[in-house]
Chain A
Amino acid sequence: MDDAAPVLSTADLTRHFGMVKAVDGITVEIARGALVGIVGANGSGKTTFLNLITGYLTPDRGRIEFMGRETTGLPPRAVTKLGIARSFQVPQLYTGLSVPPRVAEGLQILERFGLGSYADRPVGQLAEGGRKLLDIALSFALRPRLLLMDEPTSGVSIDDKGPVMDTLVGVLRQSDVTTIFVEHDMDVVQRYARRVLVFDNGRVIAQGETGRVLADAEVRKAILGHA
């Protein structure tokens, strides 16, 4: 694959729920190795966009390509096998069980996420920040080429947000994993994302270098309700 070719591209990606245009004709390209933040108000289509990319939802219209291969409409496990992994806004873990085998085998992955001591413990014993990290570690253990994180710091205390993101970004920078993360906290996006996509009513209204895009008054109004 050409190094300059995008890892992920969508063309006219659309998904409606009845009258609601959750995702409305989104066309984007994500470059290899990028760390991209997605911002937008509640209901702007961020999570639906991730759900479409990862096969949880099928689009009404449009096309998704991952590393030059069309993945539109593929089920989650097929998308996962191709190299796309995701974490969830509400961590999707096996609460009554210890850490899964594919993660436990690569204990160094847990240790990189600061979770080494939890390999043999039930997941239910983890605090929220740890659960978020484990949710991401589960995805990261699959050695994806593209990692999608849905609000990695939601539910994490203000004091823990920095350490959680530092741990995450530290691990990601050591790997050749292109990352897209949805985030509500503008400080987190400004500090960690190199590039940002701004969603509003199912459309991308702005994209580009994080500092420049988030400084735009119209963008701030769309996200925060004020300039």
Chain B
Amino acid sequence: MAGTRRWPAPMIALALFLVAPLLAPGWIVFVLTLALAKFMAVLAVALFLRGGLISFGHALFYAIGAYAVGFAVKWLGVADAVLLAPLGAVLAAGVAALVGLIMARYRGVFFAMLNLGVSMILYAGLLKFYWVTGGTDGIGVRSPTYLGLAPPREVLRTAFYYFTLVLAGMAVYIVYRFLASPVGYFMKALGDNEVRIEYQGESVRRVMYLTYVLSGGVAGLAGVLAAFAVGHIVPEYAYWAQSGEFVFVALLGGYGTVPGPLIGSLAFEFLRTYASKYMPEAWQATLGVIMLVIIMFLPGGLWTFYAAVAGRARRKSEGLARG
């Protein structure tokens, strides 16, 4: 019974995500789409945070996914989301497979700053090679098609929202499976005891590397979806502030679970939307204050607030059932 009692929350969340476009105005659907897309990048960063490692460079993979879309549209005239989503993810994972050969050797501040350094190299390249990348003007991305089918104009946004929701679901499934695997376990254990990992017959470097490749692929997928959602790609996709945003959101939502980054991502996008509307000059300060409050009172992120409330409700209902 305990297993079935745990199901309602995810099912309710899924139901809400499914009906949202039918009930909510267009701008909310846009914010939800962007939140779902960025959630995947946050999830990718959270994989390392669970192991005590922080990356300030995952915008690298996010930008690779986004620019894969941009180049496909600009040079090949292809804007098929079903084709470009896996392509962007694979390209980002491929780059992660190369960069990861170096990153898997480093820990702590070196890991954080090397990631930042590599992402800033890409950022500089995107700025300088303007005849290819469009420089600061960026690249416009038209609405996607799906296996060659173009949805009617009035459902474009809704169609892409559902497409993003499906891919986010797939990413969650893959990350869940990874975390349940021995490699996923050892990644979590990495911040705890590297010596024991080696004496369990596992290579710490291999654990880091495999996590890095998966993480890069998931962040790349996020970039593909964000590019289509926003419709415009600029070098800031690879900028360190974007990487910092992913870390910020992971801390906001809580990185110890898979739903934490989702809650963080949703909260962040809506906060940013409202804060920039009502406090356009001070929205970053607003986010800073919220982050301070979270760190002081909910160090495990917003997820811990939900977990505490849900736990209390469960205990209450179990008490009623017994009593």
Q: Which residues of A contact B (CB under 8 A)?
A: 54, 56, 75-77, 80-81, 85-86, 88, 92-97, 100-102, 138-139, 142
B316 to chain A, nearest CB (A): 23
Closest 10 CB pairs between A and B?
A80-B201, A92-B196, A94-B189, A76-B198, A94-B192, A77-B198, A101-B182, A81-B201, A101-B185, A77-B201
- A75, A95, A100, A142: the one within 8 Å of B198 (CB): A75
Q: Collect the chain B residues with CB atoms within 8 Å of residue A139's CB.
A: 199
The count of A-to-B residue pairs whose CB atoms sit within 8 angstroms is 53
The answer for the CA separation of A54 and B182 in the assembled complex, in Å, is 22
Inter-chain contact B199/A54, CB cutoff 8 Å: yes
> B242: CB under 8 A from chain A?
no
Most buried by A among B185, B186, B196, B200: B200
Q: Collect the chain B residues with CB atoms within 8 Å of residue A76's CB.
A: 195, 198-199
The answer for the CA separation of A101 and B202 in the assembled complex, in Å, is 12
Inter-chain contact B201/A92, CB cutoff 8 Å: no
> B188: CB under 8 A from chain A?
yes
From B204, which residue of chain A is reached at the shortest CB distance?
A: A77
The answer for the CA separation of A139 and B201 in the assembled complex, in Å, is 10
List 20 A–B pairs whose Cβ atoms lie within 8 Å, in order of A's numbering: A54-B199, A56-B195, A76-B199, A77-B199, A77-B201, A77-B202, A77-B203, A80-B200, A80-B201, A81-B201, A94-B193, A94-B196, A95-B193, A96-B192, A97-B189, A100-B186, A100-B189, A101-B182, A102-B182, A142-B200
From A123, which residue of chain B is reached at the shortest CB distance?
A: B192
The answer for the CA separation of A86 and B198 in the assembled complex, in Å, is 11
From A96, which residue of chain B is reached at the shortest CB distance?
A: B192
The answer for the CA separation of A55 and B253 in the assembled complex, in Å, is 41
Q: Collect the chain A residues with CB atoms within 8 Å of residue B195's CB.
A: 56, 76, 88, 92
Inter-chain contact A142/B201, CB cutoff 8 Å: yes
Inter-chain contact A100/B200, CB cutoff 8 Å: yes
* B236-261 CB contacts (< 8 Å) to partner A: none
A187 to chain B, nearest CB (A): 28
Q: Which residues of B contact A (CB under 8 A)?
A: 181-182, 185-186, 188-189, 192-193, 195-196, 198-203
- B186, B193, B201, B202: the one within 8 Å of A93 (CB): B193
Inter-chain contact A80/B199, CB cutoff 8 Å: yes
From B202, which residue of chain A is reached at the shortest CB distance?
A: A77
Q: Collect the chain A residues with CB atoms within 8 Å of residue B192's CB.
A: 94-97
A95 to chain B, nearest CB (A): 6
Q: Collect the chain A residues with CB atoms within 8 Å of residue B193's CB.
A: 92-95
The answer for the CA separation of A80 and B197 in the assembled complex, in Å, is 11
- A75, A81, A97: the one within 8 Å of B185 (CB): A97
Most buried by A among B181, B186, B193: B193
B20 to chain A, nearest CB (A): 35
Q: Collect the chain A residues with CB atoms within 8 Å of residue B198's CB.
A: 75-77, 80
From B196, which residue of chain A is reached at the shortest CB distance?
A: A92
Q: Collect the chain A residues with CB atoms within 8 Å of residue B182's CB.
A: 100-102
Inter-chain contact B185/A100, CB cutoff 8 Å: yes
Most buried by B among A88, A100, A142: A100
From B194, which residue of chain A is reached at the shortest CB distance?
A: A92
B196 to chain A, nearest CB (A): 4
The answer for the CA separation of A138 and B195 in the assembled complex, in Å, is 13
Q: Collect the chain B residues with CB atoms within 8 Å of residue A86's CB.
A: 199
The answer for the CA separation of A86 and B189 in the assembled complex, in Å, is 18
Q: Collect the chain A residues with CB atoms within 8 Å of residue B203's CB.
A: 77
The answer for the CA separation of A101 and B201 in the assembled complex, in Å, is 13
Q: Collect the chain A residues with CB atoms within 8 Å of residue B199's CB.
A: 54, 76-77, 80, 85-86, 92, 138-139
- A75, A81, A93, A101: the one within 8 Å of B196 (CB): A93
B51 to chain A, nearest CB (A): 11
- A56, A88, A102: the one within 8 Å of B200 (CB): A102
Q: Collect the chain A residues with CB atoms within 8 Å of residue B188's CB.
A: 94, 97
Q: Collect the chain B residues with CB atoms within 8 Å of residue A93's CB.
A: 193, 196
Q: Collect the chain B residues with CB atoms within 8 Å of residue A88's CB.
A: 195
The answer for the CA separation of A54 and B200 in the assembled complex, in Å, is 12
The answer for the CA separation of A139 and B197 in the assembled complex, in Å, is 11
Q: Collect the chain B residues with CB atoms within 8 Å of residue A80's CB.
A: 198-201
B246 to chain A, nearest CB (A): 23
